Each structure stands twice: as C-alpha cells, then as structure tokens.
A and B are shown apart, each in its own frame.
Chain A
Amino acid sequence: MSDFIKHPVVSLPDRAPEPVFSKKELVFTEAEKEQIETFRAQYPTPESAVMKTLWLAQEKFGFLPPEVIRLAADTLGIPFSLAYGVATFYTQYYKAQQGKYVLDVCTCFSCQLCGGYDMVRYLEEKLDIREGETTEDGLFTIQGVECLGACGTAPMLQVTNGPYVHNLSREKLDALIDALKAGKKPPFVSVTLPQDEDDLGGNRRSDAEATEVGQTPPAAETFE
C-alpha cells in the first residue's frame, strides 16, 4: 500500500475483550438509579435516556468498556446493541481507559491558524508522549480535537470534558500541568465580550472569578 493512504478506513474493535470491572463493581448505587429514573421521566421512551445514562456511567467508571455499556442498557431495560451503537458513535464517550486528565487541545482551523498545533507539539515534548497517548503515570492524555466553540480565545483546550482553558501559551501550559499534578482542576472561566471591557469592569458574572477576553493571537509555527 502506498504511503498516500494515510487513514485506514476501519479498525475493528475486539468484540469480546476481558472485562475490566468485576461483577461486584458493576452496580449503580440507589442514588444513581434514582438519577437514571429522572432521566427516563424526561423522555417518552427509555431509549432516549441512554445518552445521559452513559454520561453518568462514564463519570462513575471513567470509561465505557462493553460491560459498563451493558450495565447502562440493562438498567434502562433497552437492548445492549442500541447502547453500544450510541457509545461508539459519539467521540466524547471513552471506549478505553484514559489518563486522569485528558487534555483536548483544539486544532480546528481557527486554532490551527493561532497556534493550536504548537500547543499540541509543546505538550508532547513536555509530557514525552504523542497525541492520543497517555503518560506512564496515568495522569495525562493528549488529544487533538475538532472545534470546541471557543475560537475567539484561540488557542485553547478542555480538561476531561470539563473546564475550558483559553488563550494558551507555553507558560500557561506549564502552569496548568503543575496545577493538575497538584490535583487542582482549573476553575470555570468566563469569557468577557470585547464590547464589555469598558462597561462592566471586564466581567459580566460575579460568580466567575476568572475572566478572559480574546487576545491578539500568536503567529502559528506548525500547522499539522
């Protein structure tokens, strides 16, 4: 095969891997079951609650191996195949164990033009792993992701489907990694509109301590 074909079309998953979680671990608590009941009540059919239930399962177990998907499906009383189809379609459901902190660096074109790939390369060098890999201590995974909807504060990243970190620079990444190593997740940051800078003292929300406004982006060095 020529090196022209860079993207293999299909890689088939192992359909019956060894379970990661034991039968004893595979239970929802009463509170979680109650939560799932409220999800069910929000929709006319139990199938519709599958996305929220998978989110809950992922928060509990960290990722979604087949046995966890089966647990979610059984709890809702829907076929395993439906839940498995959904879990494998959406990218934010992790099918494999990830690092404690997944650094989703946006590399879509607004960020690409403003240094998104520079940030990925810097993280790779700093953590000594490649994009898509996890550090040996299990702390960090780096992923280049598609547009996260924060183009005005590019380059930016998201920490494990949670808080956004805006206006990245190498210094800011150093600080972020140190903070995460110390167990401190970044806070919710409010992005102030440039039109507000004069009026509201630069912040519209008194419940958000940290604020950012789009800064003049750096010149990108790498583009892929």
Chain B
Amino acid sequence: MEMALFGDNGSGKTDAWRSYERVLLPPVRDLHRFDTYVGHGGYEALRAVLTREEWTPGKVIEATKASGLRGRGGAGFPTGLKWSFMPPVEPGKPRYIACNGDESEPGTFKDRQLMEYNPHLVFEGILIAAWAMQIDATYLYVRGEYADWIRHMESELAMLYDKGYAGKRILGTDFSSDIVIHKGAGAYICGEETSLLESVEGKRAYPRIKPPFPAQKGLWGCPTTVNNVETLACAPLIINRGAEWFAGVGAEKHPGPVLYGISGHVERPGVYEYPTGMLITDLIEKVAGGVRGGKKLKAIVPGGASVPVLRADMIEGVTMDAESLREAGSMMGTAGMLVMDEDTDMVKFLRRVTRFYHHESCGQCTPCREGTGWIENLVTRIDEGQGTLRDLDILLELCDQMEGRTVCALADAAAWPVRNTIQRFREEFEAKCRQSIYAVA
C-alpha cells in the first residue's frame, strides 16, 4: 500500500486531501484480528527495531523527533522530545508507559474507533515506544464505559502473548516488555496525565503537583511516560515509512495523519482520517456533507469541550493544526470537532458545558471545586431568565480566579469555554439578561 504523497507541506489548503490514503484506519476488513494485521505487514516495524542494528533505542527517539509527531491527546506536545526526558536506565528501577485511552473529552470519539478497528497498531506502537525508552511494562488505560472494546482488546492481547509478540523475550530477542489493560470506572479527570497515574495505582484520581514530572516520578515513583493511544499508533508508521515521510504529511509544524471526529449539526458525522492542516471549511462542507438541512453555520468547537469556541466568521482560511488555530483564537485539542448551526442557543450550550465541568471536577482544589459549581449556577440563572448583566462580569471574574490556580488544568479547561463563549457571543447572553425578571442594571 503505497502512500499517495501529500504534495508540498501545508497543502491541506488545496484539494490534495481527496487522494489521501488512510494509514491509521486503512480500509481492510477485520484488521482488528492478529492474523489479518500480520498479513498486511503488521509488526514488521516492531521486528525491525528489535532485530536491526541501526534501530538503537536512541535512533528510534531521534526518528520520532525528526518526524515532528505531536501528541494527539490535546496538548500537542512533541512526542520525541517527551520520550527523551526519560532518565537513563537504572538497574532495579522499573520504567513504565501509561497509554492514555481514557478519551472522556466531550466531542471526542476517535480513540474508540482506533481501538475498535486497529488495536494492533496501538499495541505495536506501544512496543516500539517501549523499546525506545527501554520500558518494563505499559499500562493501557481505557475508560470503563468502553467495556466491549476492552474485552475485544484483551482477547487480541492474549493472542499477542501466545505468539511471542509481547511479554518475555519478544520475537526471540532479549527484549521483554508487558502490556496490561487497566479499566477505568467513569471519571473525566483520569484523562489528565498525573491523575491517570493515580488511577492505575488504584487510588482516587487526584492529579499530582508537577514537578516532579512523570518522567522522573511516575507510576509507583518510577520513570513513566504518558502518551495518547493515537500518538503511539503513529510510531509504527514512522518506522515503516520514515520520519521524512511523516513530516511531509499535512501541516509543516504539526504533521501526520490525524483522526478527525466530526459531530453535531452536520449531514455525515463520524470519524474521518485525513492529514493535519485541513481547512475547517473543507472538513465541514466537503468531508462531513455540510451543515444539516442546508442551514447556516453558527459556531464550531474545533477540539473537544475545553478549547475555545469559534464563530462562523472566524474560520475562513483556518486549518486544523496548532499554529493556524492558535492564530484564530482556539486550539487543536483532540481534533473532535463540534459543529453548531444557526438555531443553536449558545447560552444553553454553555450551560451544558459548565454542568459537565462541575460534575467532573475531582474536588481536590477549592478554586475548581467551588468555581465550577458557581459558574454552573450563574449560567443556569441567566438561561432561566433570572440573570443580570452584572452576572456576565462576575462569570469572567470567576474565570480569572480559577485559571492557573489549581493543581491540574481542569479549572483552566472549565474557564476557557466560559470566557470565550461569553466574549464571542456576548449579545446573546446580554439579550437573555435584558429579558430577565431582574432586567435593571
């Protein structure tokens, strides 16, 4: 399966994406089965790094750096750089990967499809990363709601152990590394890297203060790297096709294939695989069939609940990569895009978003535990026609008091949509306040 070259960098702006051939979710039936996966060249990248001399662990990290791969879990941190933070191997001190398949960010549903259709790409990526960082065991954290997918993956993983592709002396080499699937039990906070570690350790998932970072003190106090499942699924592609190939796909500074999850008011919602750097307008109009029922576009959320909402007039020429979205006033996040048509009530939308954060705040830090609750109450009051214009300012002040004042970024993630939705749709909020029973002010 030869990759149709994606042309010059940043050509997401042209129609070249139409000839894109999928590599994360190629159109192969039953690819989730070990035999099919191996039959289509699966685990060749793992065999290469374990048996060929040129692929020393350091070289794998170098290649990952050169590929330009950035984390797909939301923050977009360069993956190769993260791997290089791991301290040198110390005898008697185990090293771990925590692979993040918690996927609880509202509007994000791409990891589930990856685990459903190509779990072995994830396993292979885990094992390549394990070689690169000389990892003893990987804990693949999957949210508890994905019980069916966990069951499927566990049987495939058992197969992997039987055939000698994981566990002791992988593929007959001296390298051993385990994979354990850890089932969550319903807590959004577990997607945060340090609370994910707490959860794997079997505790309440309260985020930890950084530093020390996981690379110094992660699982059980040992060096640990936390990566998203889609990020690790890119590792075999980089080994097989080369870092240069990967760097040439999509946007220059944020390259690679990516799974876009498009939901909301579009004709054809779903997960689509395309290069990074696609025009947002193309994704909505040409890929997802346009806004439902020929309605006008009102707003989009480009990458999950916590990234700032963009008005329809802000997306002209904006592409799906970190740089372009930052310029436009938002973020790439998880590339789970929510589309809203002209009839959407932004106050009701924000009310639901604030309810989510209030429910999911873990309760460890006061500004977040209390702040998310007050924000929900205030937005609810405005929505129910009992708000005042002053409430809008109080909301923004509350955001100031929450951002950057907590152990993890959940408070920031809760504050950003409030701030941006009010700023970008202020007239709607003001209109509701003016109609309220306390309209004076």
A residues sitting closer than 8 Å to B (CB atoms) are: 4-7, 9, 42-45, 47-52, 54-55, 82, 85-86, 89-93, 107-110, 112-114, 146-154, 158, 161-164, 188, 190-191, 193-196, 199-200, 203-207, 213-217, 219, 223-224
Contacts and interface: CB of A to CB of B under 8 A. Distances in A.
15 contacts: A45-B220, A89-B204, A89-B362, A91-B187, A109-B106, A109-B356, A110-B338, A113-B349, A114-B263, A114-B265, A146-B104, A149-B104, A150-B112, A204-B117, A214-B269
B263 A90 contact: no
A223 B274 CA distance: 32
Given A109-B107, A162-B147, A223-B345, A4 B204 contact: no
Contact of B186 (A44, A52, A92, A219): A92
Contact of B202 (A51, A93, A191): A51
B191 to A, nearest CB: 11
Nearest to B111: A149
A40 to B, nearest CB: 11
Contacts of A206: 29-30
A152 B264 CA distance: 8
Contact of A108 (B143, B203, B351, B356): B356
Contacts of A47: 201-203
Interface string B147-161: 110000000000000
Contacts of A214: 263, 268-270
Contacts of A224: 348, 351-352, 383
- Sort chain B's interface into a size bin: 35 or more
A151 B273 contact: no
Nearest to A42: B180
Given A85-B204, A93-B186, 16 more contacts: A44-B94, A44-B220, A45-B201, A49-B202, A82-B203, A92-B186, A108-B305, A109-B106, A110-B106, A112-B352, A149-B104, A161-B145, A188-B148, A195-B22, A200-B29, A217-B269
B107 A151 contact: yes
A78 to B, nearest CB: 8
A206 to B, nearest CB: 6
A23 to B, nearest CB: 26
Interface of B: 22, 25, 27-32, 94, 103-109, 111-113, 116-117, 143-148, 180, 182-188, 199-205, 220, 261-273, 288-289, 292-293, 305, 336, 338, 340, 343-345, 348-349, 351-353, 356, 358-360, 362, 373, 376-377, 380-381, 383, 386
A147 B352 contact: no
B264 A110 contact: yes
B61 to A, nearest CB: 26
B308 to A, nearest CB: 14
Nearest to A104: B145
Contacts of A151: 106-109, 261, 263-264, 269, 336, 338
B186 A90 contact: yes
A82 B363 CA distance: 17
Contacts of B380: 6
Contacts of A4: 377, 381, 386
A45 B263 CA distance: 41
